[in-house]
């Protein structure tokens, strides 16, 4: 499918909502929307696991939790294509190698720029880190507002969805899991 086909589809939608796609203010809108969609959905053109291929071994034997906190993201729900706006916490306990911290945020971005449900988004981030880095464990916590429940449908504002995925030592060791969740809670305090 070509870019022109996609722009034509948005002209059809503009007509369907009751607009005139030929009026001055809207004549470039299909082109702009198609460009915006390339940004929202650029995750289909990347493999987020590739961000985790550069690793560092000279950690001085560091073997405690590494936690990147409060990572903002924007995604879209696969049922309504409505925005999902939230934050992610990504932690792991290295076995030998660590990854550059920006790469954890890049993995979050890569999976967020696709149509998602939050459960799969959370799982994909955790599985990517586990499979590429092979750490002792991974913990991912995601908290997000879904515009499909605030702006339409049940129309509930101020409602968040929380999801978490624990792998390895975070699943097996309740104290470590608590330590991770305590740091998330501290960040969530108003
Ligand atoms: N589990 C899960 N559900 C989601 C997520 N995002 C949106 N949903 C829900 O997906 C469901 C889709 O249900 P349907 O009954 O097929 O759609 P709908 O008729 O538009 O539902 P309403 O939103 O209740 O009007 C809705 O309940 C949404 O709230 C998500 O990330 N995870
Ligand atoms: Zn939705």
Cβ–Cβ < 8 Å for 161, 118: yes
The 66-77 sheet, strands edge to edge: 115-116, 66-77, 83-93, 137-146, 161-168
The residues, ordered by sequence, that sit 6+ positions from 87 with a Cβ below 8 Å of its Cβ are 70, 71, 72, 73, 142, 143, 144
Cβ–Cβ < 8 Å for 8, 28: no
pTM tops 0.90, yes or no: yes
Residue showing tokens 């053109």: 45
Instruction: Provide the pLDDT for residue 161.
Output: 97
Q: Which sequence spans correspond to the domains of the chain?
A: 3-40, 48-188
The residues, ordered by sequence, that sit 6+ positions from 22 with a Cβ below 8 Å of its Cβ are none
Cβ–Cβ < 8 Å for 135, 99: no
Residue 130, burial from CB neighbour count under 10 angstroms (0-12, 13-18, 19+):
middle
Asked if the model's pLDDT at residue 152 lies above 90, the reply is: no
Average pLDDT in the chain? 97
- What size, in residues, is the chain? 190
For the segment 21-31, what is each residue's pLDDT rounded down to a tens digit?
999 999 999 99
Distance (Å, whole) CA 148 – CA 118: 13
Would residue 116 show up in a list of annotated catalytic residues for this protein? no
Cβ–Cβ < 8 Å for 88, 110: no
CATH class of 3-40: mainly alpha
Asked if the model's pLDDT at residue 102 lies above 90, the reply is: yes
> Average pLDDT for residues 71-98, to the nearest whole number?
97
Q: What is the CATH number of domain 48-188?
A: 3.30.1130.10
Helices (H) and strands (E) in the chain, counts: 7, 7
Say if ligand 1 is within 6 A of residue 154 CB. yes
Would residue 169 show up in a list of annotated catalytic residues for this protein? no
Rounded to 10 degrees, what is the CA torsion of 182, 63, 142, 121? -160
Instruction: Provide the pLDDT for residue 151.
Output: 83
Q: Residue whose CA is closest, atom 7 of ligand 1? A: 77
Question: For residue 153, which atom of ligand 1 is closest to its CA?
Answer: 25
For the segment 7-57, what is each residue's pLDDT rounded down to a tens digit?
999 999 999 999 999 999 999 999 999 999 999 999 999 999 999 999 999
Instruction: Provide the pLDDT for residue 154.
Output: 86
Pocket residue to mutate for ligand 1, from 75, 79, 153, most atoms within 8 A of Cβ = 79
């Amino acid at each position: 499918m070509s870019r022109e086909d996609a722009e034509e589809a948005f002209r059809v939608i503009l007509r369907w909502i009751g607009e005139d796609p030929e009026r001055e203010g809207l004549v470039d809108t299909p082109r702009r929307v198609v460009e915006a969609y390339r940004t929202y959905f650029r995750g289909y053109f990347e493999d987020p696991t590739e961000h985790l291929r550069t690793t560092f071994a000279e950690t001085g034997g560091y073997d405690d939790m590494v936690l990147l906190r409060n990572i903002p993201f924007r995604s879209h729900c696969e049922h309504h294509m409505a925005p999902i706006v939230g934050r992610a916490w990504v932690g792991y306990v290295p076995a030998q190698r660590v990854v550059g911290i920006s790469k954890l945020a890049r993995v979050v971005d890569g999976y967020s720029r696709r149509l998602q449900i939050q459960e799969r988004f959370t799982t994909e981030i955790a599985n990517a880190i586990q499979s590429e880095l092979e750490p002792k464990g991974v913990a991912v916590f995601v908290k997000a507002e879904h515009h499909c429940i605030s702006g339409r449908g049940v129309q509930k504002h101020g409602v968040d969805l929380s999801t978490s995925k624990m792998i390895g030592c975070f699943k097996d060791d309740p104290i470590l899991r608590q330590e991770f969740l305590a740091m998330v809670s501290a960040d969530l305090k108003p």
